[in-house]
Structure 1
């Protein structure tokens, strides 16, 4: 996903770039030109309104809200701490806006070109006939309300909150909590991964990663090359299909 696996990508060192024509800005954290995957920190300004026309994409949108709130239609709001996964070919954007502004981590598996629907069939998000996604449409969950569990595929002591999973490929997204005092146990991921630190810091084989830092790595590496976590850490982890490079 990035030029050097396990590299430390710090958003503060990346320049904002415009996204679209309605005032959004982004900092690209990871990009894979071959697969189309892109992960970015996106800033939505106070009082933002989208184009006001329902549309869909040929790529999925996966979002974790860091701050503020956004809405599509004014009946449902995503707030800080919320997660949602919108598959390709889901009509949305009837009335996108953010009264207070927002900051979000947004990931997609291709360009998010706007394919307009001038006469939507429903007032809220709905799938088109071409919709076909093993993960399903996760309309929005409060991550704090998801129960933490121990997963034997992760290092001892790490606790996860499952956010979404592809029933066909095995790709999934989880929130991970690493306890204070944890030390390396020699584990590795069986799939390529991306991750972003939300709280705390964790020491890796190449660097110490702190709040806001992003990294990525291939199958056969542990997230962040993790070796020790003195004070505890929380991060969002995107896992590709098992066996992916």
Structure 2
């Protein structure tokens, strides 16, 4: 791996720097990744990217029909970020996350009181550390709530229908693209966005000036690293042009995690 040392559990150490793929613009095709068990309640995942040093992980999580979680409220000391690809999940049989919904749950948010899925679901998930379950047997609220001292500049994005977010031009991206900002940290510059690339686009996607990850939601986009199609995933460094992209004949929709400025 470019002369690096391979740490345990995946991930690659290159010149002392961890990255979630072996090299920038490595194409990870989710359809070719095996499903593996996740936890003890019937979930499974396709692991896309993992930084073994920190536990930072990006996956597709499969939730079976009639799934039910452990039924005990809990919190994590890491962020959970989710985009719903298919199906739906409910917290209480009142509120449902469904296809096209996004949420950003900061660390130390009590949740999971009664999670379930009646029809099954598939979700694109990211966390910035190991999701240890810290159980809360007597939660103070019947719905999600922050513990004292919980703070995240992005705030708690409980549920955001992406279709309702206005797409705008953004100077970090090609002029023809339209960007939907799902969550953003005003302090570090980190953010999660969806990029809408119009059909017939030709040009050059620049480097973002930050590390990033990308996942193709629909359409396709081509460039220096080849053709990226739905459910393809890759990562880039500060100076890596986004997806190495140069054209998209059918158009493309991309979910992009842009990390803190160096």
Smaller-chain TM-score bracket = over 0.9
Q: Distance in 2 between matches of 1:179 and 1:78?
A: 28
The count of corresponding residues between Structure 1 and Structure 2 is: 243
Q: 2:46 aligns with which of 24, 27, 31?
A: 27
Q: 1:65 aligns with which of 66, 72, 84?
A: 84
Q: Distance in 1 between matches of 2:32 and 2:205?
A: 31
Shift of 1:186: 5.6
Q: Distance in 1 between matches of 2:205 and 2:172?
A: 12
Structure 1, residues 170-191: CA drift from partner, whole Å, max 9, x if none?
1000010011122223621111
Say if 2:255 is the partner of 1:242: no
TM-score by length of 1: 0.97
Shift of 1:99: 0.4
- Name 2:31's counterpart in structure 1: 12
Say if 2:169 is the partner of 1:150: yes
- Name 1:42's counterpart in structure 2: 61
- Name 1:164's counterpart in structure 2: 183
1:1-245 matches, cutoff 5 A? 1-185=20-204, 187-243=206-262
Kept in 1: contact 2:205–2:244 (CA 8 A): no
Shift of 1:22: 0.2
Structure 1, residues 67-110: CA drift from partner, whole Å, max 9, x if none?
00001122211000000000000000000000000000000001
Runs (4+) of structure 1 exceeding 2 A deviation are none
Q: Secondary structure at the match of 2:87?
A: strand
Shift of 1:7: 0.7
Shift of 1:35: 3.3
Relative distance call for 1:188 and 1:122 in structure 2 (3 A) is same
Q: Structure 2 unaligned segments of length 5 or more: list them.
A: 1-19
Moved more, 161-170 or 18-27: 161-170
Kept in 1: contact 2:190–2:259 (CA 8 A): yes
TM-score by length of 2: 0.91
Q: Structure 1 unaligned segments of length 5 or more: list them.
A: none
